[in-house]
Amino acid sequence: MAIACKPKVLIADEPTTALDVTVQKEIIELLKELQKDTQMSILFISHDLTLVSELAHRVAVLYKGELIEEGETAALFKTPKHKYTKALLEARPSLDGRVKRLATVKDILDGSYSDIKISLNERAIVHKRIYTKAPLLKINNLHKTYWKNSGLFGKKEAIKAVDGVSFSVFEGETLGLVGESGCGKSTLGKTIMNIELATDGEILYKGKDITKLNKSQIAAMRKEIQIIFQDPFASLHPRMTIGQAISEPIAVHHPGSSKTKRKRQVLELLEQVGLEASYFYRYPHELSGGQRQRVGIARAIALQPKLLICDESVSALDISVQAQVLNLLNDLKEEYNFTYIFISHDLAVVKYMADQLIVMNAGKIEEAGDADEIYANPRKEYTQALINAIPKGIERL
């Protein structure tokens, strides 16, 4: 639509931020081709540095409303002058090795960051503890089929969003789930939450099949399994204060609790997710994306769940805020021994977070195993393609 009038200048404001890497790559290729054909100029606005490094001839860096650095792309990435630019370059999860905490821009600017690595040995010890117990969640041959009107003689067409999936999730682990958009990740998450009803198969939570629970049993289970979405703005009521939003699930599940007690709980939760008490009276539109995501996390952990499903929870955030939220999720996990199913289309992020990894393709599991192992030696072409599609601009330079 934007190029229909043959523009001389195209302003592309985060055009691929919500897309997975493979689709993103196609859009970038398309933009490059269009530019070659039409000779238009592109102002490409993005928080994703790797992407910028692959596309732009020149880069300008904005910090607090000021243009702090500008230059030819390769030179700017190779020898950034401003310390903010340097910090931005360091804040993305690295693909080799695992650091305990991701660097945020603030850490780097303060000089307070240390890139302590998690050793293979440490990981092995943790895994030994996690994987010797019985699984917390066991999915057996799960199917979720949607029916779509195909328009032909009133016929219905089946969309097998989840198509015979089996896997286990162990207490205290982070299970990563990756795949292109539309491969069925969110449907899988929603089916586990019982937001969508399974078409067939079993979802055993602590050994009980949750597809066969009655209403009150489902309510009890809801407390233990929570979901954090990509866009907390969509799930926060615009006219409810942050305080009301976080206390809502507590009020629903503990109707006897007093208002003052609930407020105390909410204030504690705010502190845990790194928000000041004054946010209690604020409204969602007064918050930044990162702050809203913290509210989404506070709401999800309000009932002290065991299993948290993070569905693209950091996909809309810029690199530095993404690092903060990922660090927060890992801190909370340590503190409360949460179990995560971490869903993302960004393999670099999933690889950083996950113990085990499941690669999904068209509703089915393509391959599954240790996250580092799969990244190092993908057995399937599909996985290889996902890995290849991670923008590697900066490393290449």
Contact partner, 146, from Mg ion, ligand ADP, none, Cβ < 5-8 Å per class:
ligand ADP
Closest approach of Cβ 161 to ligand ADP, in Å?
A: 3
Contact partner, 161, from ligand ADP, Mg ion, none, Cβ < 5-8 Å per class:
ligand ADP
Closest approach of Cβ 390 to ligand ADP, in Å?
A: 17
Contact partner, 241, from ligand ADP, Mg ion, none, Cβ < 5-8 Å per class:
none
Q: Which residues contribute to the site for ligand ADP (CB under 6 A)?
A: 146, 148, 159, 161, 179, 181-187
**Of 103 and 316, which CB lies nearer to ligand ADP in the complex structure?**
316
**Of 104 and 315, which CB lies nearer to ligand ADP in the complex structure?**
315
Cβ neighbours, 10 Å, residue 69: 17
Closest approach of Cβ 230 to Mg ion, in Å?
A: 7
Q: How many residues bind Mg ion (CB under 5 A)?
A: 2
Closest approach of Cβ 346 to ligand ADP, in Å?
A: 13
Q: CB–CB of 363/331 below 8 Å?
A: no
**Of 56 and 374, which CB lies nearer to ligand ADP in the complex structure?**
374
Q: CB–CB of 191/142 below 8 Å?
A: yes
Residue 50 interacts with Mg ion (CB under 5 A): yes or no: no
d(C-alpha 172, C-alpha 131), whole Å: 9
Dihedral angle of Cα 253, 257, 263, 267, to the nearest 10 degrees: -60
Q: Which stretch binds Mg ion (CB under 5 A): 181-189, 202-210, 251-259, 381-389?
A: 181-189
Q: Which stretch binds Mg ion (CB under 5 A): 84-92, 162-170, 182-190, 290-298?
A: 182-190
**Of 90 and 312, which CB lies nearer to ligand ADP in the complex structure?**
312
Q: Is 141 left (phi over 0), alpha (psi -120 to 50) or beta?
A: left
Q: Are strands 225-228 and 307-311 parallel, antiparallel or unpaired?
A: parallel
Closest approach of Cβ 143 to Mg ion, in Å?
A: 18
**DSSP labels for 186-220?**
HHHHHHHTTSS--SEEEEEETTEEGGG--HHHHHH
Contact partner, 183, from ligand ADP, Mg ion, none, Cβ < 5-8 Å per class:
ligand ADP
**Of 62 and 158, which CB lies nearer to ligand ADP in the complex structure?**
158
What is the SS3 assignment for 168?
Answer: strand
**Of 44 and 229, which CB lies nearer to ligand ADP in the complex structure?**
229
Closest approach of Cβ 44 to ligand ADP, in Å?
A: 25
Q: Binder to Mg ion among 16, 104, 186, 199 (CB under 5 A)?
A: 186
> Residue 140 forms beta bridges with which residues?
202
Q: Residue 201's closest CA among 147, 165, 169, 158?
A: 165
**Of 77 and 342, which CB lies nearer to Mg ion in the complex structure?**
342
Cβ neighbours, 10 Å, residue 392: 15
Closest approach of Cβ 80 to ligand ADP, in Å?
A: 35
**Structure tokens, 258:** 């007093």
Distances (CA, A) of 188 to 139, 178, 198, 242, 369: 10, 12, 9, 29, 18
d(C-alpha 192, C-alpha 205), whole Å: 9
d(C-alpha 294, C-alpha 314), whole Å: 10
Provide the binding-site residues for Mg ion, judged by CB under 5 A.
185-186
